[in-house]
């Protein structure tokens, strides 16, 4: 598997600290990926959306040795599908390999505001907008991957893609985020393999709470994910798929899966899978008090920058050793 670098591994701390290289920009991210021997970059399509054709051509030339993946943050596409249409068009103009999108602002598997019926209606309302925009992706040959952004489980993502019925629509699997909806990453990956479009390489350390677990960003290989078995699966079944290191949010995610209400909006699933996911979290659980990042503790920009870069450097070393 070829591995790249996602912009969401970093925050605005680099700009705040006046660093010469800001990996939260296309130029800075590209330089960091190239200097570390990675194969691709992924960042927001909006970062190129306002560029002139000439500026896009210059950028395409500067990253000629790297594949490009674009992200559009997404929201409720039942209300407005235009951002995804624009991202597909930008991907076509810049030679991007795929577009990653999300379909909600929900996090931590917390969907209680919708209820079970409301969540089903929310997902169903996405079908027609996707049907309207995917012919453009098919025309341009641009894969679109819906990320498991701590909101939908694998069964829901598979059902949504099946109802839309486009060969270009599939899933961008965030490996660590499978735990955020109570699924084990290996089971999640095996289920969605037929329609996987891209992979986010993310890991978490686990910190128990009375209602569940906090998941805290960490260097790849330092957390709960069993990377040897995940990478072996991808290499065996989908060797053409690429991945990007995405160290993720600068705040810990609190997954309240020990509360009954947390499960109420999800479809039923095999009990043995749920037990395996919770057992894995339980066995990996560390210090319940060590869950805050330097960003949450209000540390200086220099401290936050050092934290992000140290995690990135160790992640690169790990994936190079493991692949």
209 CB contacts (<8 Å, ≥6 apart)? 254, 256, 288
Of 158, 175, 283, the C-alpha closest to 233 is 175
| Inter-CA distances, 228 with 147, 224, 225, Å | 22, 12, 9
* Tens digit of each residue's pLDDT (9 = 90 or more) over 200-251: 999 999 999 999 999 999 999 999 999 999 999 999 999 999 999 999 899 9
CB 154 within 8 A of CB 163: no
Pairing outcome for strands 169-174 and 144-147: parallel
**Residue 74, pLDDT above cutoff 90:** no
pLDDT of 162 > 80? The answer is yes
Average pLDDT, stretch 131-138? Answer: 98
Which pLDDT score is estimated for 310? 97
For the chain, give the number of residues: 323
pLDDT band per the 50, 70, 90 thresholds, residue 55: confident
**Residues 197, 145: contact at Cβ < 8 Å?**
yes
Give the strand pairing for 212-217 and 243-245.
unpaired
Q: What is the DSSP-derived secondary structure letter of residue 51?
A: -
DSSP notation for 283-313: HHB--TT----TTTTT--HHHHHHHHHHHHH
Return d(Cα 214, Cα 204) in angstroms, integer.
Answer: 9
Amino acid 144: pLDDT: 98
Q: What is the largest CA-CA distance in the chain?
A: 55
Q: Which pTM does this prediction carry?
A: 0.95
Please give the DSSP secondary-structure letter assigned to residue 254: E
What span, in angstroms and rounded, lies between the C-alpha atoms of 323 and 320? 6
Q: Which two tokens stand for residue 88?
A: 């597909």
Pairing of strands 253-255, 212-217: antiparallel
Provide the pLDDT for residue 246.
97
Q: Is the pLDDT of residue 53 over 80?
A: no
């Amino acid at each position: 598997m070829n591995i790249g670098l996602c912009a969401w591994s970093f925050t605005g701390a680099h700009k705040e600290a006046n660093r010469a290289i800001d990996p939260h920009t296309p130029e800075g991210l590209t330089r960091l990926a190239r200097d570390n021997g990675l194969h691709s970059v992924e960042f927001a399509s909006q970062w190129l959306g306002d560029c002139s054709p000439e500026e896009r051509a210059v950028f395409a030339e500067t990253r000629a040795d790297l594949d490009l993946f674009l992200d559009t943050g997404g929201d409720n596409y039942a209300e407005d599908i235009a951002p995804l249409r624009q991202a597909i068009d930008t991907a076509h103009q810049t030679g991007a390999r795929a577009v990653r999108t999300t379909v909600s602002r929900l996090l931590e598997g917390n969907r209680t505001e919708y209820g079970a019926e409301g969540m089903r209606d929310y997902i169903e309302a996405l079908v027609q907008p996707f049907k309207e925009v995917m012919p453009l992706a098919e025309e341009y040959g641009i894969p679109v991957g819906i990320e498991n952004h701590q909101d939908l489980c694998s069964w829901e993502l598979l059902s949504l893609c099946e109802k839309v019925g486009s060969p270009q629509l599939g899933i961008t699997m965030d490996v660590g985020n499978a735990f955020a909806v109570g699924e084990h990453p290996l089971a999640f990956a095996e289920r969605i393999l037929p329609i996987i479009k891209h992979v986010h390489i993310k890991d978490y350390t686990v910190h128990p709470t009375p209602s569940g677990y906090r998941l805290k960003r960490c260097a790849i290989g330092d957390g709960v994910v069993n990377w040897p078995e995940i990478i072996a699966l991808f290499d065996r079944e989908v060797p053409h798929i690429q991945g990007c290191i995405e160290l993720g949010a600068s705040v810990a995610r609190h997954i309240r899966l020990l509360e009954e209400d947390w499960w109420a909006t999800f479809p039923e699933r095999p009990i043995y899978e749920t037990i395996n996911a919770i057992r894995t979290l339980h066995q990996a659980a560390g210090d319940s008090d060590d869950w805050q990042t330097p960003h949450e503790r209000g540390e200086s920009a220099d401290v936050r920058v050092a934290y992000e870069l140290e995690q990135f450097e160790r992640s690169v070393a790990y994936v190079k050793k493991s692949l």
